[in-house]
Structure formats: structure tokens, C-alpha cells
């Protein structure tokens, strides 16, 4: 079974999820005070949009890089991919929730940020499992030496640990946790799966 249709379906989900993010940008509109003030008080929506857009964009880049190197798709891989998409689909909801509560402070802001980072953590674990399965079942086109495979898994794990840290920090400060997940996204711009042929 080739990966063409799995990639097409996943690309569709990534594309819809990343575009739905912008629905959260909508401001209250006429009759709710000067537009400039509406934009200013709406900063959490813009900040969360940037972080979530970058995160989904990077998942897509890494998904693309990984599946380019996968030679065989089994039924387990289809369902592990669905697990990953389960969390991707929840990102617009989590983004809207954290944006609504970010500037409120207190327990509600922390809870919203924990949910947001929790969705990222779930996505990261889903992707990690997918990656681990494709190495373990030898579905990759290239064969990794044991140290290379270990390095790959550690590097992949960076996101998982980053989001875990963000969950912890969210309890103390929701905006700080948003910053952490933004940094994880920036990290993945420069780093990537070692499955990529050099």
C-alpha cells in the first residue's frame, strides 16, 4: 500500500485546521468600541494564532519529511496517523479557548493554557509513536544505525518534553507557556527528523 492517499487525507486535515485557526481572529465588530481598542485587547488571539499556525505548519513539514521516507503503510500506521490527526483537529478549539482566557489571568487562564499545551503534547506523542512504529517495523526506506535511531528518537522527544514543560509552566503563567510552545516551534524550524537523507 503506498502512502499517497494517507498523505492526501492528512494534507486536507492540516489545511482545514490551519485555515480554521483564523476564525478565532474575528473581532466583536461595530458597536463594541473603537476598532483600534478592539484589536489591542484582542492580542491573545493574534499571539495564539501565530503559535498555532507555526505549530501546524511544522507538523506538516515533518509529516511530509517522514512519509517521503516511508516505504510501506500498514493498517496500524493508518490508525496511528488518525491518532495524530485527532489532536491536530482539536488545535483550533484549543487555540480559541486559550485566546479567550489568556488575558483573564487566574485559574481559568491556567486551565485554558494547560488544555492548549495538552493538545500539543498529545499531538507530539502521537507523532512520536508514528515515528517509532515506522522505525521499529522497518517501514523506512533507509536503514538507521542504532545510534542514529536513538538520536532521532531523542531529537523527536524534544517536542514532547518541551510541551510537558509548557504544561507545568501554564499552571504558573499562561502567557509564559504560550512563549514556550512558540520556542518549540522555532526549534523545529531548524531541527528535523534524521530520517531525511543527507
Q: Would you count residue 30 as binding a copy of itself (CB under 8 A)?
A: yes
Q: Smallest gap, in angstroms, from Cβ of residue 176 to a copy of itself? A: 18
DSSP string computed for the chain: --SHHHHHHHHHHHHHHHHHGGGGG----TTSS-HHHHHHHTHHHHHHHHHHHHHHHHHHHHHHHHHTTB----HHHHHHHHHHHHHHHHHHHHHHHHHHHGGG-HHHHHHHHHHHHHHHHHHHHHHHHHHHHHHHTT-BSS---HHHHHHHHHHHHHHHHHHHHHHHHHHH-HHHHHHHHHHHHHHHHH---TTS--
Q: Is residue 44 within 8 Å of 112, Cβ to Cβ?
A: no
Q: Smallest gap, in angstroms, from Cβ of residue 152 to a copy of itself? A: 17
Residue 1, Cβ neighbours under 10 Å: how many? 11
Q: Is residue 24 within 8 Å of 99, Cβ to Cβ?
A: yes
Task: State which of residues 44, 55, 84, 101 lies at the interface with a copy of itself (CB under 8 A).
Answer: 101
Q: Which one of 86-94, 136-144, 152-160, 170-178 is the stretch in contact with a copy of itself (CB under 8 A)?
A: 86-94
Task: State which of residues 41, 72, 108, 187 lies at the interface with a copy of itself (CB under 8 A).
Answer: 108
Q: Smallest gap, in angstroms, from Cβ of residue 146 to a copy of itself? A: 26
Rank residues 34 and 146 by Cβ distance to a copy of itself and give the closer one. 34
Task: State which of residues 41, 93, 132, 175 lies at the interface with a copy of itself (CB under 8 A).
Answer: 93
Q: Would you count residue 175 as binding a copy of itself (CB under 8 A)?
A: no
Q: Would you count residue 164 as binding a copy of itself (CB under 8 A)?
A: no
Residues 41-80 that bind a copy of itself (CB under 8 A): 53-54, 57, 60-61, 64, 68, 75, 78-79
Distances (CA, A) of 16 to 13, 20, 64, 92, 107: 5, 6, 16, 10, 31
Q: Which one of 83-91, 128-136, 145-153, 173-181 is the stretch in contact with a copy of itself (CB under 8 A)?
A: 83-91
Binding residues for a copy of itself, per CB under 8 A?
A: 1, 5-9, 11-23, 25-27, 29-30, 34-36, 39, 53-54, 57, 60-61, 64, 68, 75, 78-79, 82, 85-86, 89-90, 92-93, 96-97, 100-101, 104, 107-108, 111-112, 115, 189, 192
Amino acid at each position: 500500500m503506498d502512502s499517497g492517499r494517507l498523505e492526501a487525507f492528512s494534507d486536507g486535515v492540516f489545511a482545514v485546521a490551519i485555515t480554521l485557526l483564523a476564525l478565532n481572529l474575528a473581532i466583536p465588530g461595530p458597536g463594541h468600541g473603537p476598532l483600534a481598542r478592539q484589536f489591542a485587547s484582542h492580542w491573545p488571539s493574534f499571539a495564539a494564532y501565530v503559535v498555532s499556525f507555526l505549530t501546524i505548519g511544522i507538523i506538516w513539514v515533518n509529516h511530509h519529511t517522514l512519509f517521503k521516507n516511508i516505504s510501506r503503510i500498514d493498517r496500524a500506521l493508518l490508525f496511528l496517523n488518525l491518532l495524530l490527526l485527532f489532536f491536530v483537529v482539536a488545535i483550533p478549539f484549543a487555540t480559541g479557548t486559550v485566546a479567550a482566557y489568556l488575558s483573564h489571568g487566574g485559574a481559568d487562564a491556567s486551565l485554558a493554557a494547560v488544555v492548549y499545551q495538552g493538545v500539543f503534547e498529545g499531538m507530539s506523542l502521537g507523532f512520536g509513536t508514528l515515528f517509532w512504529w515506522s522505525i521499529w517495523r522497518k517501514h523506512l526506506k533507509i536503514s538507521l544505525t542504532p545510534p542514529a535511531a536513538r538520536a532521532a528518537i531523542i531529537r523527536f522527544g524534544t517536542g514532547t518534553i518541551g510541551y510537558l514543560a509548557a504544561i507545568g509552566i501554564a499552571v504558573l503563567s499562561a502567557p509564559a507557556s504560550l512563549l514556550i510552545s512558540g520556542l518549540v516551534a522555532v526549534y523545529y524550524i531548524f531541527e528535523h527528523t534524521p530520517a531525511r537523507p543527507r
